Amino acid sequence: MPITTTVITGATSGIGRETAMALARKDHALYLLVRDTERGEALKRDITSGTKNKNIYVVQCDLADLESVRNAAGILKRSLLSINILINNAGGIFAGREESKDGFEMTFAVNHLGHFLLVQCLLPLLEKGQARIINVSSEAHRMAKPNFNDLQWIKRPYSAWKAYGTAKLFNIYFTRSLAIKYGKKGINAFALHPGLVNTGFGTKLSGFSKLLMALARPFMISAENGAQTTIYLALATRIDAKSGKYFKSRQPADSSVAATNELGRDRLWDLSMELIEPFLN
């Protein structure tokens, strides 16, 4: 039986780590795209000792640095003939407005644009592998009010939660665009809400947002439980017909009305292509 080749971002902690461990037990060849290679190598040791799976590889990739994303994609293209599963798991929320190395608002860069470039760079491998692309979104997408004239939050007061919610809405837009544009080439895409998970998420928040997270923590689920929908989408059979859908608790779910906006979806795609164009050559 052929080995399944899976690439995952943000695997060194939380639901990403649980996902990587679960897929390693299913004998997937895992390529861990990580910002911190020391933590990546530590995870690799944990996986190989816990599962006996030796097909675990660490690739440096900082989603806030598009040159780093391009370099990581280059390593994968030189190492692999195809990719069967790409899990865009990494993300984050930031208390104040920060900028990435390339000058993009950090929430937008880490949660959307870095993954957008990664997919574009890997398209030949994804097509050859008839891949599933799994984008970790969030119910926070329901608070989004995207302003395409100010994606970088320069003209308006920055809001950590609104910026994060908008980025999670963009994950759903991206998923639906991928399903439409590349479905005939054998690529399927899925978005998901993992649940309110008790991980390190939100530790950099401050003020009222930090208080809300602290109050919510006793009601959060474990990282292991939070990873279950991602794992389901990676392993399930006969779900191609549901490509482009948003999932919760391993089932298709309704997203917000805003997430069905075709004009917004197409505008995000066009703007994202413009922003990553310098990094495609």
Instruction: State the catalytic residues.
Output: 164
Whole-angstrom distance, CA of residue 259 vs CA of residue 174: 10
Q: How many CB atoms lie within 10 A of CB 277?
A: 11
242 contacts: CB under 8 Å, gap ≥ 6: 190, 252
Task: Assess contact for 196 and 223: CB atoms under 8 A.
Answer: no
Structural tokens at position 12: 């060194």
> Please, which residues bridge with residue 253 across strands?
246
Among 274, 261, 66, which Cα is nearest to 173's? 261
CA distances from 69 to 92, 115, 208, 225 (A): 17, 8, 34, 29
Task: Assess contact for 7 and 33: CB atoms under 8 A.
Answer: yes
Whole-angstrom distance, CA of residue 225 vs CA of residue 83: 26
State in Å, rounded, how far the first CA of the chain is from the last one.
36
The DSSP 8-state label assigned to residue 30 in this structure reads: E
Task: Assess contact for 186 and 124: CB atoms under 8 A.
Answer: no
CB under 8 A, 24+ apart: contacts of 210-217: 210/95
Among 78, 49, 73, 55, which Cα is nearest to 3's? 55
